[in-house]
Structures are given as structure tokens and as C-alpha cells.
Amino acid sequence: MRRTASLILLALAVFFAALSPGLRWYAFPRLAKIPANHYQDMVLEARDATLMDTSMRVKKVSKITVVQTLRGNVEESEKIERTLGRDVVVWDGLSYAQGPDGEQVAHIPERYIFDAHTQEPIHATGEMVDGDPVTREGLEFKWPFLTEKRDYEYFDAQTRTSSPIHYRGTQDFRGLEVYYFEQTIPWTQVKWPKKLPIAGITAEQLAKTGTTRWYTTVRKFWVEPVTGAPVYGEEIHREELRGGTLLGDRDKVTAFAGHVKMREDYIEHTVDMVRSQRTLLLLMTSYLPWGFAALGVLLVALSLYLEARSRRPDEPEPADDSAPEPVTA
């Protein structure tokens, strides 16, 4: 009986020992993915910003509000999946900025196509920024699961180019261990937006004036490494108009300058959401694999113990040393 139990425990030990690395290195890369119907929005604010109004006057404003939305396009992702044979996510994004009076300041749509498991960009029809086809290299919006302590290529939607975003260290952000990344985009000439705040004025008309649009930013992200999700972000953002007849006798004019930060209620919501997702991913990458490995070792030890008990010879019965009683006639 002990030997049978020992063999059963040994079989279970082998099963859990094999399940431990299989869950981490085989199941996790296949099961962890961004859902195709994912939706999120975020509100950022730049307080005491500098803004050029529609009459070309530069003034200080109390607040600029930026609303960013990412909406999963399930129909388009399924169409690309049938072609490529892999899990694909298509995000239709919109970055919309408005001044303190509620009037539009900027309106930039995007379509971002990427691998649901690795977050690597996928180049397919429809990939664009503000209606212009682009070929992204590197990340945008989200880091990969199990983010590493290294630099990554990050796509900048204004310049339509990718450049390194640098790992600057590990920090504590509201009880979460996060990796801090920073990217600097130097002054670069960028395109006029297709949708402008001035009614009846087009980007083509502005380009004919010879006036050019320039942009620079310092982009900062605090990323939770297990989920790869940014829990907080900032941009020190500046735009200028330079040269041409649009500015009159001025060489350049500040179109926008501000320190853009996530609004407090969205920070709290994001941290809570990431914390819950982090726990689920840790079950697959750490808690269960290590737990199964420890259980396998324990079962092996118990199996060997029972096997040793089964091989021990039975103890002989003690001899009866009492003398026989005499028999008399």
C-alpha cells in the first residue's frame, strides 16, 4: 500500500514539475494578450499654458485640456488576422485638445496596429497619423508585458519618426514599483494638422504662406513592468510658427507651450486598474510556477519517505521467555 501511494505521489510530482516551466514559458506568451475590443480614455491638463489664439495673439491661459481615446476596432483586427494568421489589435486613437473656453485647439486621429501578445507594430493597410500613411517602428502607448530595464524605440506622432526612449531608473509610484522612461524630441519641423481651429483655413493654404510649424517635447512615462502599462505620463511640450508671410514682421511665434500632466482622477483609476491586472499576470509568471515547483519538490520528498518506509523489514515478534509449567501425574 505504501509503495502504491509513493508511485502516485511521484507521478504527481513529475506533473507539477513539468507544469511549472510550461505555464511560464509556453502558456503565458500565448494567453497574455490585449483584447481586440479594448477601450480607454485619458484626460491630461496643461495649467498656466501659453497659447496663440485664432487672431495670432499669444497669451497665457489658465488651462488646456487634452483628451486621448483608444478604441479597439474589432472588425479591422479580424480582417488583418485572417490575412496574417496571428492575433492583431487595431486601435483607433484620437487626441483632442481644447482651450479654457471649450474651443478646439488640436484634433489628431491615429490608427495603430500591433501584435496582441508582444505589442510589436504590424504594418498593414490603414496604419496612419492624421490621415497620412506611416510605418511605425517601436512602441506607442503601451510597453510589452514584462518590460525590461532598457531603452526602447518609441514612435512620435508629430514627427512620424521613432527614436529611443531611455530607461532612467526604478521608482515607487503610489505603492507600485515602476520603471521611469524619458524621451526628448529636439526642435523638428512638422506638418500642419489637417483639421485646424480656424474655420475655412486649410493646411494647404497655410503652407503656401511659407510659414512653418516646429515642435519639441520631453516625454516622460512611469511604466508598471509586469503589465507594461503606463500608470502616469507627462510632456513638456512646445510649438512654434516660423517665417513666412503669416507672421508679418515676426520671425517666430509661440503657438503652444505647456507642461501637460494626467488629471488626478485618471491617475487613481489607472493605478487601480493596473494593480488588478498585475495580480492576474503574476499568477501566470510567478506565483503559480513557483508554487507548482515547490509542490513538486514536496511531493518528491513525501514519495521517497513512503518508499523508504515500504522497504523497511517487519520487526520480529518478541520471544516468550516464560518457563513452562511442570506436568504432574
Q: Does the residue 329 lie in any domain?
A: no
Which amino acid, residue 257?
Answer: A
Q: Is 207 in the same domain as 241?
A: yes
Provide the residue range defining the domain that includes 257.
Answer: 32-262
d(CA 265, CA 173): 15
Q: Does the residue 321 lie in any domain?
A: no
Q: Does the residue 271 lie in any domain?
A: no
- Of how many residues is the chain composed? 329
Q: Is 146 in the same domain as 228?
A: yes
What is residue 23's predicted lDDT score, i.e. its pLDDT?
76
Q: Is 142 in the same domain as 288?
A: no
From the number of C-beta atoms within 10 Å of its C-beta (0-12, 13-18, 19+), residue 50 rates as: middle
Question: Is it the case that residue 7 has pLDDT exceeding 80?
Answer: no
Q: What is the pLDDT of residues 230-289, one digit of tens each?
A: 999 999 999 999 998 988 888 999 999 999 999 999 999 999 999 999 998 988 888 788
Q: Does the residue 162 lie in any domain?
A: yes
Q: What is the pLDDT of residues 63-106, one digit of tens each?
A: 999 999 999 999 999 999 999 999 999 999 999 999 888 888 88
Task: Pick left, alpha or beta for residue 79 (phi over 0 → left; psi -120 to 50 → alpha; otherwise beta).
Answer: alpha
Question: Is it the case that residue 20 has pLDDT exceeding 90?
Answer: no
Q: Is 56 in the same domain as 187?
A: yes
Q: Is 27 in the same domain as 116?
A: no
Q: Does the residue 324 lie in any domain?
A: no
Q: Is 75 in the same domain as 220?
A: yes
Structural domain total, the chain: 2
CB of 283 within 8 A of CB of 31?
A: no
Q: Is 210 in the same domain as 299?
A: no
Q: Is 19 in the same domain as 66?
A: no
Query: Whole-model pTM?
Result: 0.86
* Residue with grid cell 510589436, as numbered in its chain: 120
Q: Does the residue 325 lie in any domain?
A: no
Which amino acid, residue 281?
Answer: L
Q: Is 199 in the same domain as 293?
A: no
Q: Is 121 in the same domain as 241?
A: yes
